[in-house]
Amino acid sequence: MVQAYGADTGNGSAERPQPGESRFRGLLNRARRDPGIWRRGIVLALCSVVLTLVMAVHAQIPNRVGNLGSLIETFLPWIAVFIPVLLLLALLRRSATALIALLLPAVVWLNTFGGLITDKSGTGGDLTVATHNVNADNPDPAGTAQQVAGSGADVVALQELPGSKVSTYEKSLAARYPYHSVQGTVGLWSKYPLSNTRPVDIKMGWTRAMRSTVKAPQGEVAVYVAHLPSVRVKLRAGFTANQRDSSADALGEAIADEPVERVVLLGDLNGTMNDRALKAVTSQMRSTQGAVGDGFGFSWPASFPMARIDQIMVKGVEPKSSWTLAATDSDHLPLAARVQL
């Protein structure tokens, strides 16, 4: 029996490009001869759709069950990790449907986070600020203090200061910063005079936030230092962040009532800018990293940073540049920014 030209003979001849056929055209022709290329990979395509929805409507994911919405928003940029995995699986499955569907999460991710990839830092600025959760168990407080001061910051905020080590930080920073105040477990060191310094009640039962007016040469700026309660991920309870959320609301109220027009917030907020639970603060302030940073600026954990839970935020102040400092003996990375008053 005569075999028709181009028919599948069972020995793979249909997979070979025909004479004069380009490689790309050959791929198209093979796709036409393989209708399964559209039927395969439906599950992979659905996974792409789910990733897209998580990024596009993350604010609608409820927090009623284990604060799931806030947990997802904390690590939202890491959804990008699943995109190359789905790409590899789509290629292995030889699925056109899965490949096309993968464009959805890729485009949405780039639209949401693409702006953070590039360096947006600029020149200028007249006040440099730095913040660092130094870790209560830090084995070298003096070295950590000197390292942060070495950034050249005019104002330094430290969090998680144990009472037994406060004097060490004070002695280490005294030469560079003649003005300072420690309120509870947070402290502020400045090259310029401080006034109207007081603790800020963030509903914790002890002091973990403060504010002070820094009298810089270019004018006054209210500086807040805050360390919001820690959060935990537990198997049964989920993302336990209720105390953090209440403290964020109290901090937001204090900043909203601040009479000084220019405000800078420095601290460990135990939450990211994407987390809706911090909206009392984030709705009225700008993140220096989002505005003029270089990359995502992840600050925790220092050994393998996965989230930016330490923040430098401003209101009535123009950010010029923002960056992450080198690791210290803390489990957080210190941050710095330069702003224009």
State the pLDDT confidence band at 38, using cuts at 50, 70 and 90: confident
* Stretch among 67-71, 175-179, 307-311 having the lowest mean pLDDT: 67-71
- Output the average pLDDT for the chain: 90
Report how far residue 338's alpha carbon sits from residue 341's, in angstroms, rounded to the nearest whole number.
10
Report which residue type is found at 278. Answer: L
Whether the predicted pLDDT of 18 surpasses 90: no
Tokens of 123: 């020149």
Q: Give the burial class of 30: count Cβ atoms within 10 A of its Cβ; 0-12 exposed, 13-18 middle, 19 or more buried.
A: middle
Report how far residue 114's alpha carbon sits from residue 110's, in angstroms, rounded to the nearest whole number.
4
Q: What is the pLDDT of residue 31?
A: 63
State the pLDDT confidence band at 320, using cuts at 50, 70 and 90: very high
Whether the predicted pLDDT of 139 surpasses 70: yes
Q: What is the pLDDT of residues 256-283, one digit of tens each?
A: 999 999 999 999 999 999 999 999 999 9
Report how far residue 239's alpha carbon sits from residue 71's, in angstroms, rounded to the nearest whole number.
6
Report how far residue 89's alpha carbon sits from residue 41's, in angstroms, rounded to the nearest whole number.
9
Domain with CATH 3.60.10.10 in the chain: 127-340
Asked whether the beta carbons of 323 and 294 are under 8 A apart, the reply is yes
Instruction: List the CATH code of the domain at 127-340.
Output: 3.60.10.10
SS3 state at 90: helix
Asked whether the beta carbons of 82 and 50 are under 8 A apart, the reply is no
Q: With b meaning 16 or more CB within 10 Å and e meaning fewer, what string describes 304-315?
A: ebebbbbbbbbb
Choose from 17-21, 63-67, 92-96, 230-234 the range with maximum mean pLDDT: 92-96
Distance spanning both ends of the chain, measured CA to CA? 88
Q: Which residue has the higher pLDDT, 240 or 27?
A: 240
Whether the predicted pLDDT of 8 surpasses 50: no
Rounded to two decimals, what is the model's pTM? Answer: 0.86
Q: What is the pLDDT of residue 11?
A: 47
Whether the predicted pLDDT of 35 surpasses 80: no
Tokens of 57: 């409507």
Phi-psi region of 274 (alpha: psi -120 to 50; beta: other; left: phi over 0): alpha
How large is the average pLDDT for residues 52-70? 90
